[in-house]
Structure 1
Amino acid sequence: MAYDLEEQEQLENLKAWWRQYGNALTWALIIALLAFAGWNGWKYWERKQAGEAAVLYEQVLKAAEARDVERVKRAATDLEGKFGRTAYGQMSALVAGRVLYDAGDLSAAKSQLQWAIDHGDEAYSHLARVRLAGVLLDEKAYDQGLALLKEEPPAAFVALYADRRGDLLAAQDKRDDARTAYRKALDKLGQAESAMRQIIQFKLDALGTA
């Protein structure tokens, strides 16, 4: 009998607890399930976006390989407009920028590289800065190019920034500053990057001794 009373008391306690906390627990469970469903939906959407972006990126690469400038422009603009948040959109801008630069369309090349700077993740953005500074070098817009590279970048891009600064400074006949920039680039480059080291050393030697 005592056992039955104890069970009944526990049951009453459970009912009281459920009256107090049951609704909150139910809502917490519902929210958790909705969050889980939302996360799965988001991952599906991401995969779908990446798949469609990959198809368009392939079109950009094929157009680039064929040197079809107009098709590169259309495909890159389409990809960046629809899937600009994906890595494919950012890579597309860099590819298009290179093709357009090689074709002599500097204005369009600059637009693509600026898009990559504005919308790209850190790595793509810094690479686009270096490339855009190179286009500005060709246009003799030296101060604009240097302004793009005025901030110290992450370690992986220090050598690229310094090398491009050296190019811009050398073009302005600021030989001492250019030497300093090239030496910094050499200092930050790994020994394994022998080809780039040789190019920078050649540019440094071309400036003559201080």
Structure 2
Amino acid sequence: MAKHLDLEEQEQLDAIKHFWERWGNLITWVLIAVLGAYAAWTGWQYWERRQGALASVLYEEISRNVDAGDVARVERTLADMKDKYGGTTYAAQGALLAAKLLHEKSKSAEAKAALAWVADKASDEGLQASARLRLAGLLMADKAYDEALKQLAGSFPASFVPLAADRRGDVLVLQGKRVEAAAEYGKAYQGLTADSGDYRRLVGMKLNALGIDPDAGTKSGAVS
């Protein structure tokens, strides 16, 4: 009986040996690939967390210097942040903060450059949309109407669609294109909810100024 069991065990061992001779290398490489992928993923997660933590420190520095009105320090910190942590959300938020101060300090070109960077590089589509709207506003103030409309072209996240339409209406009014402007204001008005409050009323006033009753959707006067 014992001999019979020994034969069975030997057969099993031979089968296992044969299996590993045939498939052992493949299984080993698959395990290495899986474990390597897991190690890479955990390493990436750690790297992202570390990048975010370091970027947050520079963001706080930008915020403090914006409050202090220190343009030189804001510009230096932003440049450092873009260079080292440009892929983080903090970098995009920092650039938006910096752009506000730069505009207030009459550094229009630098403000537009900061906003253009966010619009092009930010990983968050909401921050990209905010940057495009603000950049369009600065271009509009510079009478660069065609450039402003380029920033407002294309798709926007759903919550930004009415805001982009309103801004396009503003640009078109300044270009003397009142009919087209009215159409854009109409889109904005319809896209804004009652919760939008004063903003929706403001768009309604713009339509009224063009001779349109926004709630009736009909002309109360000529748009020309």
TM-score bracket, normalised by the shorter chain, equals: over 0.9
Give 1:207 deviation, angstroms. 3.0
Equivalent position of 1:198 in the other structure: 201
Q: Which amino acid aligns with 1:168?
A: V
Q: What is the rounded CA distance, in whole Å, between the counterparts of 1:64 and 1:3 in structure 2?
A: 82
Q: Which amino acid aligns with 1:13?
A: A
Q: What is the rounded CA distance, in whole Å, between the counterparts of 1:70 and 1:204 in structure 2?
A: 42
Work out which of the residue numbers 27, 38, 44 in structure 1 matches 2:46: 44
Work out which of the residue numbers 181, 185, 189 in structure 1 matches 2:188: 185
**Which one is further off, 164-173 or 27-36?**
27-36
Give 1:21 deviation, angstroms. 0.9
Q: What is the rounded CA distance, in whole Å, between the counterparts of 2:202 and 2:96 in structure 1?
A: 22
**CA offsets per residue over residues 56-88 of structure 1, 9 Å max, x none?**
000111111122222222222211111010000
Equivalent position of 2:96 in the other structure: 94
Q: What is the rounded CA distance, in whole Å, between the counterparts of 1:146 and 1:72 in structure 2?
A: 29
**Which one is further off, 46-55 or 66-75?**
66-75
Does the 8 Å contact 1:149/1:165 carry over to 2? yes
Q: Which amino acid aligns with 2:121?
A: H
* Uncovered stretches (5+) of structure 1, i.e. residues with no partner: none
Work out which of the residue numbers 88, 112, 115 in structure 2 matches 1:113: 115
Q: What is the rounded CA distance, in whole Å, between the counterparts of 2:202 and 2:65 in structure 1?
A: 30
- Runs (4 or more) in structure 1 with deviation over 4 Å come to none
Does the 8 Å contact 1:97/1:113 carry over to 2? yes
Give 1:150 deviation, angstroms. 2.0
Shift of the 65–205 alpha-carbon distance from structure 1 to 2, 3 Å rule, reads farther
Q: What is the rounded CA distance, in whole Å, between the counterparts of 2:54 and 2:198 in structure 1?
A: 37
Alignment of 1:12 onto 2:14: yes
Does the 8 Å contact 1:100/1:108 carry over to 2? yes
Q: Normalising by structure 1, what TM-score?
A: 0.93
Equivalent position of 1:67 in the other structure: 69
CA RMSD across the alignment: 1.5
Q: Which structure 2 residues correspond to residues 120-139 of structure 1 after superposition, within 5 A?
A: 120-121=122-123, 122-139=125-142
**CA offsets per residue over residues 132-177 of structure 1, 9 Å max, x none?**
1100100001111112222132322211110110110011121111
Does the 8 Å contact 2:126/2:157 carry over to 1? no
Percent of residue pairs identical: 44
Alignment of 1:159 onto 2:162: yes
* Uncovered stretches (5+) of structure 2, i.e. residues with no partner: 212-220
Q: What is the rounded CA distance, in whole Å, between the counterparts of 2:174 and 2:55 in structure 1?
A: 40
Does the 8 Å contact 1:80/1:92 carry over to 2? no
